[in-house]
Amino acid sequence: RPEILVTQHRDADGRLFPVEARLSAVAVDGRTRIVMLATALTENLSAQRRLQQQERIFRQVFQASEDAILLLDGDDFIDCNEAAVRMLRCGSKEDILPVPPWGLSPEYQPDGRRSTEKAREMIETAYERHFHRFEWTHTRADGEDFPVEVTLTLLELGGRRILHVVWNDITERKRNERKIEELARYDLLTGLPNRRLLQESAEALLQAGERERRPVGVMYMDLDRFKDINDTQGHETGDQVLSEVAKRLRGCLRQCDTVARLGGDEFAFLLPDTSVGQMQRIAERVIEALEEPFTVRGVSTRLGASIGLVRYPEDGRDLAELLKHADIAMYRAKDGQTGWCLFEPEQASNVLARVSLERELRHAIAERAIGLHFQPIVDATSGTICCLEALARWISPDGRPVTPDVFIPIAESTGLIHPLGDLVREIACEQALRWRRQGFAVPVTVNVSARELQSPDLVERILDTLNRHGLDGPALELEITESATMRNAGQNVANLARLREHGIRIFIDDFGTGYSSLSQLKQLPVDALKVDQSFVRDMVTDPADANIVETIVLLAGAMGLATVAEGIETPEQLRAVRELGCTRVQGYLFARPASAESVTELLKAGRVDIPGTGRAR
């Protein structure tokens, strides 16, 4: 075929001028020679020819490309190359051009979106950003779906905004990706699913089990004496034994069961729709199968196995928890005779209960599922309400209340005390504001834990909470345990002093238990001491306790501090603390901690009954 080029030649003066060269292959004497016919071009003609040449080159590239290339004007294809026709297995481009861009695709894309909508969005994005690349599934003329990578590039052609579309068939790439994914889900040595696949299968299975109320069994197994084999006979033998173990395990299971290798000589079983009885039989079958000697290169060795059994949903909420419990049961199995052991909740140490409680608590804080009860602190003679102590309340997801004595220590040891403290103060301020609006300007007292006191930005956060609610310092009071104030005293003193500058009153809680010295106490910027409940409880019967209370009251008085006696349950206790000079009291005798609504009723009265003073009793 002749080839036409536009090129340049030099005239006799050395000036360049445009030439159209026509190259043809000609057979001369049995040899192929190239003949060039050159024609000088005028400027005009030259420009035109050059354009034609560029177009020709473009068309050649367009046609020769292995990638399918199409030109899209809005929703209309205006051209496509041979590769596009081949890719879609159509007869000609006439089968493609009249169809809209989403017409060559299944109704839905793999991400679940309708092809029409997604295509429109992709095209819009390309027009906006001038370039857009994404994955797409097309349908070939014979009905087969296949994945492509689509690249859209915006071109300005003769004043029109055209999208240059490239489809790159990524069937092979996807297949490889899937293969790699597959590999990542199986244990290379035994071909069994690994932990990751087990996790995925478990998620689906536990969900279905929950929905359909079918029990799921989970077993955790490790091999006895496997380490010995590995150490004495070498890793190769160990590996062969493991492969053989995997083979035998599969032989013990039903089609629907999964056994996965978790690593080393640990295996886990996922048994759908399986009662405890069935699970025990499977465990016995597995143990029996592994009791047969293993023969590797003529040497026969004996193994054994221990299996822990757990039931879903009774023994755990997710795979991790189930496996943890199955692991505990497995250790029990090692002590026993049968080789397997069913998990009993008593086996779980407090640690495990704590871990799940921690998770629930974290969730509860995030969801603001912590509430507050309020307990008045009242004037010991008149019963006037001086302030209200806020006490955190939490109902765990299974509906049972968890007391602060349980969850506060967990919060303290896990750092959750910081968001919990923030939440408590937030709710306390909200409630204080509500009461203010109802005409009750009574301060709310919150407990601040020792851990919180060490947080460098505690003061800022407290002031911020107050500010956000438009409350002043005296609206909030803090109770800090004696032991907390004494730890790291320098820093604490500075923090407490700053809080007091803002009018926030500070009480020392559980006073008498922290063994602080008088000199330490003198430094503390505080307003009142709360005598610990334990002294109040026993002071009527135990003169030593009465003595301690008396000393505390004297001490407080000498330093200009008020004393609050807490935990007062009987009129005798009340009389005793009053005799010693306690001015404020708190306890079940006057009011139990109660919801904000009930406390509002007390606030309307402005005071509580003081029993044992002749009026109530």
Q: Which residues lie near ligand C2E (CB under 6 A)?
A: 375, 391-392, 403-405, 408, 424, 446-449, 479, 509-510, 567-569, 587-588, 593
Which of 294/590 has CB closer to ligand C2E?
Answer: 590
Q: Beta strand pairing status for 444-448 and 401-402?
A: unpaired
Q: Which of 425, 420, 494 minimizes the C-alpha distance to 466? A: 425
Q: Which is nearer to Ca ion, 249 or 499 (CB)?
A: 499
The set of residues, in sequence order, having a beta carbon less than 8 Å from that of 259 and lying 6+ positions away, is 192, 193, 246, 249, 250, 253, 267, 268, 269, 270
Grouping H, G, I as helix, E, B as strand and the rest as coil, residue 569 is coil
Rounded distance between C-alpha atoms, residue 356 and residue 338, angstroms:
30
Nearer to ligand C2E, 270 or 391 (CB): 391
- Which of Ca ion, ligand C2E, none has residue 550 at its interface (CB below 5 to 8 Å by kind)? none
Find which of Ca ion, ligand C2E, none residue 109 binds, CB within 5 to 8 Å per kind: none
Q: Cβ closer to ligand C2E: 280 or 449?
A: 449
Among ligand C2E, Ca ion, none, what does residue 279 contact (CB within 5–8 Å per kind)? none
Could you say which of Ca ion, ligand C2E, none residue 563 binds, taking C-beta under 5 to 8 angstroms by partner kind? Answer: none
Contacts with 611 (C-beta within 8 Å, 6 or more apart), sequence order: 571, 574, 589, 590, 617
Quick one: how far is CA 215 from the chain centroid? 27
Minimum distance of ligand C2E from residue 409's CB (angstroms): 9
For residue 595, the 8-state DSSP code is -
Q: Give the residues lining the site for Ca ion (CB under 5 A).
A: 447, 479, 509-510
Residue nearest Ca ion (C-beta atom): 479
Residue 558: CB minimum distance to ligand C2E, A: 24
Residue 446 Cβ vs ligand C2E, minimum distance, rounded to whole Å: 6
User: C-beta of 477: minimal distance to ligand C2E in Å?
Assistant: 12
In this structure, the dihedral spanned by the alpha carbons of residues 605, 608, 611 and 613, taken in order and rounded to 10 degrees, is -80
Cβ distance to ligand C2E smaller for residue 165 or 417: 417
| Alpha-carbon separation of residue 423 from 368, 409, 495 (angstroms) | 7, 16, 20
- What are the φ and ψ backbone dihedral angles of 376, each rounded to 5 degrees? -70, 145
DSSP for 21-47? EEEEEEEETTEEEEEEEEEE--HHHHH
Q: How far is the CB of 375 from Ca ion (least distance, A)?
A: 9
- Min dist CB 381 to ligand C2E, Å, is 18
Q: Which is nearer to ligand C2E, 151 or 447 (CB)?
A: 447
375 binds, among ligand C2E, Ca ion, none (CB under 5 to 8 A by kind): ligand C2E
- Find the shortest distance in angstroms from Cβ 482 to ligand C2E: 11
CB of 550 to ligand C2E, least distance (A): 20
Cβ 574 vs Cβ 612: under 8 Å: yes
- Structure-token pair, residue 528: 């009142």
Sequence length of the chain is 617
Q: Which is nearer to ligand C2E, 287 or 377 (CB)?
A: 377
Q: How far is the CB of 447 from Ca ion (least distance, A)?
A: 5
Measured from the CB atom, the residue of 315 and 532 that comes closer to Ca ion is 532
Helices (H), 271-318: 276-291
Cβ proximity to ligand C2E, 326 vs 391, nearer residue: 391
Place of tokens 């092809």: 115
The residue (of 74 and 409) whose beta carbon lies closer to ligand C2E is 409
With CA atoms as reference, report the closest residue to 475 among 424, 526, 429.
429
Closest approach, Cβ 509 to ligand C2E, in A, equals: 5
Closest separation between CB of residue 497 and Ca ion, Å?
Answer: 21
C-beta of 412: minimal distance to Ca ion in Å?
15
Residue 265 or 389: the one with the smaller Cβ distance to Ca ion is 389
Nearer to ligand C2E, 243 or 396 (CB): 396
Q: What is the DSSP string of 43-108?
A: HHHHHHHHHHHHHHHHHHHHHH-SSEEEEEETTEEEEE-HHHHHHTT-SSGGGTTTS-GGGGS-SB
Torsion, Cα of 241, 247, 251, 252 (10° steps): 50
Residue 308 touches which member of ligand C2E, Ca ion, none, C-beta under 5-8 Å by kind: none
CA distance 65 to 86: 12
Residue 271 touches which of ligand C2E, Ca ion, none (Cβ within 5-8 Å per kind): none
Phi, psi of 547 (to 5 degrees): -60, -45
Decide which of Ca ion, ligand C2E, none touches 217; Cβ closer than 5 to 8 Å per partner kind: none
Q: Which does 392 bind (CB under 5 to 8 A by kind): Ca ion, ligand C2E, none?
A: ligand C2E
From the number of C-beta atoms within 10 Å of its C-beta (0-12, 13-18, 19+), residue 284 rates as middle
